[in-house]
A and B are shown apart, each in its own frame.
Chain A
Amino acid sequence: MSSSSTTTTTTRLLMLKASDGVTFEVEEAVATKLGAINNMVEEEGSEDLICLPNVNGKFLGMVLEWCKKHANNNTNSDKGNDEVNKWWDKEFVMDLDQNTLYHLLMAADYLSGTELVDLLTEKVASMIRGKKVEEIRETFKIKSDFLPGQEEEIRKKNSWAFE
């Protein structure tokens, strides 16, 4: 008979293996904050080792740090903890450089960490809102691929957005 987590009182531990071979031992309740892991656990049941070929160790570690914080706070949810969470999240994203933010967001998206994706996409949005189109292109290395005249036409139609 296979062991079932519902009959044991000890917390089940999962082993997550990143693309570069780095492994993390995490409580099931922490790892299942991520939709992708949750699905794998439900599907595969008894499998304790989960390989994640699309995420490297550095970013998986950061994602799990976020999960750990938020899984702990779920157990005693009150208003005060909500505030603590918010502050913690703010600190978590405050000093991320663009490169880390990009890879962390890709990792969170791949692992279906919806709340973390929300936090990180809000951070990216805060970096670009109110910027000029030229600044966006320069910052993000995007080349305009409009035909001559097309861009002017769009600008004209949405002129209020450029005031």
Chain B
Amino acid sequence: MEWRFYDFPEGVLEEIFSWLPPQSLMGFKCVCKSWYGLIKSLVKNPVFVNKHLRNIDKIFCPPSCLVFRCSRPGYGPFDLLSSITISDADYESGQLELIIEDFNILGILGKRVIRVCHCYGLVCLADSDGTVTLFNHAIKEYRALPDSCHAEDDYTTIGVGFGNDSKANDNKVVKLNADDRVCYQ
């Protein structure tokens, strides 16, 4: 009998996808409609995301990524970000790969950001209106966070912090507003 990938149930495909590097995973959205739908929903599924992080750490040397600001004439201080990822691209030969990528944040968001912090491959961008956008560096997707549940109309955002809460296994954004009150999101 011929082996056909189509015959795998969704649960098995999910397990296979959890071992794929982000680039292959996102590229395989183009294979067929069912893969497109499955991958699109998996990258938003925290259970899959955690499994993926764990598996990728097991087979590749965990990629280390540095994000820093670039200053270039004509651009504001946070308009351009650059990242350097050091990863074990070919784990059988043990070759290390260095990937340098530039991100034009002004171009992506269409507005200037005033604060940038990052953690676990996610870059947290805050603009002067207090809007916080998370940018997933591995799959090049970004998402604006909803407004904080605390009333903050009268305050200006002066600082934003971003970190991982290992107890809740989630990332948290902390906003610091002008009159010393702290808003959590």
Enumerate chain A interface residues (CB-CB to B < 8 A). 98-99, 101-102, 105-106, 109, 117-118, 121-122, 124-126, 128-131, 133, 136-137, 139-146, 151, 154-155, 158, 160-162
CB contact under 8 A between A140 and B6, given known A124-B16, A126-B19? yes
Chain B's nearest CB lies how many Å from the CB of A113? 12
CB contact under 8 A between A145 and B20, given known A105-B12, A109-B12, A121-B15? no
CB–CB A162/B18 < 8 A: no
Q: Does B36 contact A (CB under 8 A)?
A: yes
Chain A's nearest CB lies how many Å from the CB of B18? 7
Q: Does B59 contact A (CB under 8 A)?
A: yes
Chain B 28-39, CB-CB to A under 8 Å as 1, else 0, gives 111111011000
CB contact under 8 A between A121 and B19, given known A98-B3, A99-B3, A109-B11? yes
Interface of B is mostly: helix
Interface size on B, residues (CB 8 A): 34
Chain B 137-167, CB-CB to A under 8 Å as 1, else 0, gives 0001000000000000000000000000000
B1-56 interface with A by 8 A CB criterion: 1-9, 11-12, 15-24, 26-33, 35-36, 55
Chain B residue numbers with a CB within 8 Å of A124 are 16, 19
Enumerate chain B interface residues (CB-CB to A < 8 A). 1-9, 11-12, 15-24, 26-33, 35-36, 55, 59, 140
**Bound-state Cα–Cα, A144 to B16, Å:** 20
Smallest Cβ-Cβ distance to B17: which chain A residue? A125
Chain A residue numbers with a CB within 8 Å of B28 are 128, 133, 136
- Which of B28, B32, B36, B59: most chain A Cβ within 10 A? B32
- Which of A106, A143, A161: most chain B Cβ within 10 A? A161
CB contact under 8 A between A106 and B12, given known A122-B59, A158-B27? yes
In addition to A121-B15, A140-B6, A143-B32, 18 A-B residue pairs with Cβ atoms within 8 Å of each other are A98-B3, A99-B2, A102-B3, A105-B12, A121-B16, A122-B59, A126-B19, A128-B20, A129-B19, A133-B31, A136-B31, A140-B5, A141-B2, A141-B5, A142-B4, A145-B32, A158-B27, A160-B26
